[in-house]
Structure 1
Amino acid sequence: MQRRKFLKKSAIGTAGILSTPLATSCKENTPPTTTIDTSEAVKPIVIATWNVPNSTSKAWDVLNAGGNSLDAVEKGVMEEEADVSNQSVGKGGRPDRDGNVTLDACIMDKYGNCGSVVYLQNVTHAVSVARKVMEDTPHVILAGKGAEQFAYEKGFPKENLLTEKSKREWLEWKKTSQYEPIINIENHDTIGMLAIDENGDISGACTTSGMAYKIGGRVGDSPIIGAGLFVDNEIGAATATGVGEKVLKTLGSFLIVELMRQGKSPQEACEEAVNRIVTKDKDYKNFQIGYIAINKKGETGSYCVQPGFTYRKYSKNEHKNVPSGSFITS
């Protein structure tokens, strides 16, 4: 998959830094090369992290039929959760260092309601369980065995999520890992999706199997409202992909929405969110963070640390993969 090729390439140290006024500590005399989305604002519209045409097509089917944005994002990311060839989401995801596939997901609607599951095992569609948490409980987050039992009570089937391919790779990793934490650029990407329906209402969803070979119990940004995903129906929405620990420390998705509230475009807000990370973390050349955002007008933006990140966009005008600008440019 295209995002896999990118992630492998981005593990290589790079030197070209994009100059921006928001990152004065890393500023160089190089002109900005940010890719800015200037297409006409439209609705309905759906965008998703990475080149996931099957997911955006499924979401678009819902929107194009007059459906709401919440159903669209749920159905959209479910496509990736069920795709065993995608080893970072749902069934077939890479396990933790003990061989357990554990899933994190969240969903958020136009009213600001949200639901989340963390460390969920044996259930493929974590995003749908998260929606049940939102709609059928007074809580926001369920974790571990509690989340799993809740899923069974709601009728979700028990499944073995560890495919033979992911199992073989895990066993190979164990030969040399010595159970030391690793940040392999390839092992952490997420499907985040944002949609606006024909009524102008915004929803979002985010789902992942997390960092491969992580310590058992590790939770990243993806299921945390305000970090991996945030929606404000008056303003817009944002979602993240990459090393979750970096996003958690800056509450990146919430930050982007608040910057849009202050008048910044989705593109400008994504850029500042990335800049805040790289100016505080000297190790930024060794990890990836990518953000996408959408505002109430249907304008979109994206930005990342390493080059190669893309997002998929589907509207009445187009269905295309959009290259993202990056802080490091080569």
Structure 2
Amino acid sequence: MSTRRQFLQTSMLLGAAGAAPGLLASPTSASGARVVSTWDFGVGANQAAWKVLAAGGNALDAVEAGARWAESELCNHTVGRCGNPDRDGVLSLDASIMAGDGRCGSVAALSDILHPVSVARRVMEQTPHVMLVGEGAQQFAVQQGFERQQLLTPEAEKAWREWLKTEHYAPQINAERRGRPGDKDNHDTLGMLAIDANGQMAGACTTSGMAWKLHGRVGDSPIIGAGLYVDNEVGAATASGVGEEMIRNAASFLVVELMRQGLSPADACREAIGRVVRKRPEASRTLQVCFLALNRHGEVGAYALHRGFVYAVCDAKRQDALLDSSSVYSSTQT
């Protein structure tokens, strides 16, 4: 049962959020291609995706290319081959991909396959299903010609063995910084959204999930509607942070539906954050939730619970823009 203190705290937080300045909303023409991604490593992912868009390619190919860059070229503790393992020392990967016409595919708890986003696309295109998980996902990947390989790096294994000394598990709020793309830090999911020159939209997510998680834990990234949702009629949204909160709120679907009701991408993200705060005001002090949205006109917006979320934008005019998101809390020290 909510206490009066919780009610007042939530009201103040949402009031502050409502008074916060708007985010980037840089409109392009409906035919203008653009790609946006979460976090500073989104700059590199965007550039990989932009090569496809600049050549006249489609949004679906572009987001797959960007996610593949993150899975193999980036060496980050929370995405792809350099990710930290679960509490049992197993590195498992999650990914999803979605086209603006509703086609989608995902994989979860996938081990020993370098490019989960491409396996997710095969699920979308080669099966009647949306999601495959665990051993079944790996079996499908091998049948589709993907090579099994050991992905756990010596560095990640060393970090896991250090963690075993205490076995203390607690999600951490990502610290505020403006680092170099690809820096190794406590940043998580790559979420990517794109619109191509024909006005078609697509999105992709890829992650190694939370370090030291329970074996078998799956976050929001491979769950359509939670970590990713795309609709050509409206726009697209993706999420980053503690995946359980995205799942509880069907977060990315919510952001798209708020845009359908007429909200800008920035306002839709802010309202979605507000719902997280209203439902769990005390928990919101200790976790990070971030949303990024792109509407069908090319307008971009983002919002986060805590300061520190940055997102990358790439189009014909800007190749490496990195922008700070507004947030409910102005400090990571809560």
**What pairs up with 1:118-129 in 2 under 5 angstroms?**
118-129=108-119
Q: Which residue matches 1:10?
A: none
Report the residue type matching 1:283 in the other structure: A
Conserved? CA contact 1:83–1:92, under 8 Å: no
Q: Which residue matches 1:255?
A: 254
Superimposed CA distance per residue, residues 289-322 of structure 1 (whole angstroms, 9 cap, x where no aligned partner): 1110010100000000010101000011213001
Cα distance in 2 for residues equivalent to 1:84 and 1:202: 24
Superimposed CA distance per residue, residues 238-269 of structure 1 (whole angstroms, 9 cap, x where no aligned partner): 00000000110001100000000000000000
Q: Which residue matches 1:18?
A: none
Q: Aligned with 2:164: secondary structure?
A: helix
Shift of 1:31: 8.1
Q: 1:184 aligns with which of 141, 153, 172?
A: 172
| TM-score, L = length of structure 1 | 0.89
Cα distance in 1 for residues equivalent to 2:160 and 2:244: 22
- How has the CA–CA distance of structure 1 residues 234 and 28 changed in structure 2, closer, same or farther, with 3 Å as cutoff? closer
CA RMSD of aligned residues (A): 1.6
Q: Which residue matches 2:26?
A: 39
Report the residue type matching 1:81 in the other structure: E
Cα distance in 2 for residues equivalent to 1:152 and 1:31: 49
Q: Which residue matches 1:265?
A: 264
Superimposed CA distance per residue, residues 65-92 of structure 1 (whole angstroms, 9 cap, x where no aligned partner): 0000000000001111113521111111
Shift of 1:96: 0.3
Q: Aligned with 2:237: secondary structure?
A: strand
Superimposed CA distance per residue, residues 10-31 of structure 1 (whole angstroms, 9 cap, x where no aligned partner): xxxxxxxxxxxxx635355798
**What pairs up with 1:214-293 in 2 under 5 angstroms?**
214-281=213-280, 282-293=282-293
Cα distance in 2 for residues equivalent to 1:145 and 1:30: 43
Conserved? CA contact 1:25–1:279, under 8 Å: no
Deviates more, 1:76-85 or 1:54-63: 76-85
Cα distance in 2 for residues equivalent to 1:29 and 1:119: 38
Superimposed CA distance per residue, residues 165-193 of structure 1 (whole angstroms, 9 cap, x where no aligned partner): 1010000000011xx54223355610000
Cα distance in 1 for residues equivalent to 2:322 and 2:286: 25
Q: Which residue matches 1:105?
A: 95
Report the residue type matching 2:198 in the other structure: N
Shift of 1:111: 1.5
The count of corresponding residues between Structure 1 and Structure 2 is: 306
Structure 2 spans left out of the alignment, 5+ residues: 1-9, 175-185
**What pairs up with 1:199-210 in 2 under 5 angstroms?**
199-210=198-209
Cα distance in 1 for residues equivalent to 2:17 and 2:284: 19
Q: Aligned with 1:175: secondary structure?
A: coil
Cα distance in 1 for residues equivalent to 2:272 and 2:15: 19
Report the residue type matching 2:296 in the other structure: K
The yes-or-no answer on 1:75 pairing with 2:75 is no
Q: Which residue matches 1:3?
A: none
Cα distance in 2 for residues equivalent to 1:137 and 1:64: 30
**What pairs up with 1:315-330 in 2 under 5 angstroms?**
315-319=315-319, 320-330=321-331
Q: 2:135 aligns with which of 145, 158, 165?
A: 145
- How has the CA–CA distance of structure 1 residues 185 and 58 changed in structure 2, closer, same or farther, with 3 Å as cutoff? same
Conserved? CA contact 2:77–2:187, under 8 Å: no
Percent identity, aligned pairs only?
Answer: 49
Q: Which residue matches 2:3?
A: none
Superimposed CA distance per residue, residues 120-168 of structure 1 (whole angstroms, 9 cap, x where no aligned partner): 0000100000000000000000010000010001111111110011010
Report the residue type matching 1:315 in the other structure: D
Cα distance in 1 for residues equivalent to 2:22 and 2:152: 38
- How has the CA–CA distance of structure 1 residues 39 and 84 changed in structure 2, closer, same or farther, with 3 Å as cutoff? closer
Conserved? CA contact 1:34–1:324, under 8 Å: no
Cα distance in 1 for residues equivalent to 2:158 and 2:173: 19
Q: Aligned with 1:264: secondary structure?
A: coil
Cα distance in 1 for residues equivalent to 2:290 and 2:40: 13
Conserved? CA contact 2:226–2:247, under 8 Å: yes
Q: Which residue matches 1:294?
A: 294
- How has the CA–CA distance of structure 1 residues 125 and 328 changed in structure 2, closer, same or farther, with 3 Å as cutoff? same
- How has the CA–CA distance of structure 1 residues 27 and 312 changed in structure 2, closer, same or farther, with 3 Å as cutoff? closer
**What pairs up with 1:7-22 in 2 under 5 angstroms?**
none
Q: 1:48 aligns with which of 37, 43, 68?
A: 37
- How has the CA–CA distance of structure 1 residues 30 and 242 changed in structure 2, closer, same or farther, with 3 Å as cutoff? closer
Q: Aligned with 2:61: secondary structure?
A: helix
Cα distance in 2 for residues equivalent to 1:87 and 1:119: 16
Conserved? CA contact 2:95–2:108, under 8 Å: yes
Cα distance in 1 for residues equivalent to 2:117 and 2:243: 18
Q: Aligned with 1:270: secondary structure?
A: helix
Q: 2:13 aligns with which of 26, 30, 34?
A: 26
